[in-house]
Amino acid sequence: MKKLAAATIGLIAMGAMAVSAYALDVKKMVGKWKWQDYVVEVTEGGDNGLSAKVVSGPNNVGMEMIQSKLEEKDGKIVGRIKHPGNGKVYNTQLTMPDENSWKLDGCTDDGACASGVFTRMK
């Protein structure tokens, strides 16, 4: 029984590492994404290695969202990201729960916080 429990814990740990590794592969963000009334196109390149431009929406069309290099910290990707709706810069933590979504959580320097999930457009 102890061997089965140890094997199960090992498999769970390996699965958690695989999910973390997947979540940290920011190149999987390349593509078009939808959030509320906005469409964002992520491409490789630009000043920070990835570019995320608002390509349609009620405002801020053409705005570059990624404002710093995206770096790994505590199992998440962190960086400064502009909000597509209000144009404010947020200190953001990013995860990719799966290949078709990415989640942003962050706060501005003055304490306003926001979060959102972007879904891949097919």
Nearest to 23 by CA among 117, 91, 94: 94
pLDDT tens per residue across span 1-38? 545 444 434 434 444 443 443 445 778 889 999 999 99
- Domains of the chain, first to last: 2-120 (2.40.128)
31-35: strand order across its sheet:
50-56, 38-44, 31-35, 113-120, 101-107, 89-98, 76-82, 71-73
pLDDT tens per residue across span 37-79? 999 999 999 899 999 999 999 999 999 999 999 999 988 899 9
Phi, psi of 18 (to 5 degrees): -65, -40
Give this prediction's pTM: 0.77
- According to the 3-state scheme, what is the secondary structure of 21-34? HHHCCHHHHCEEEE
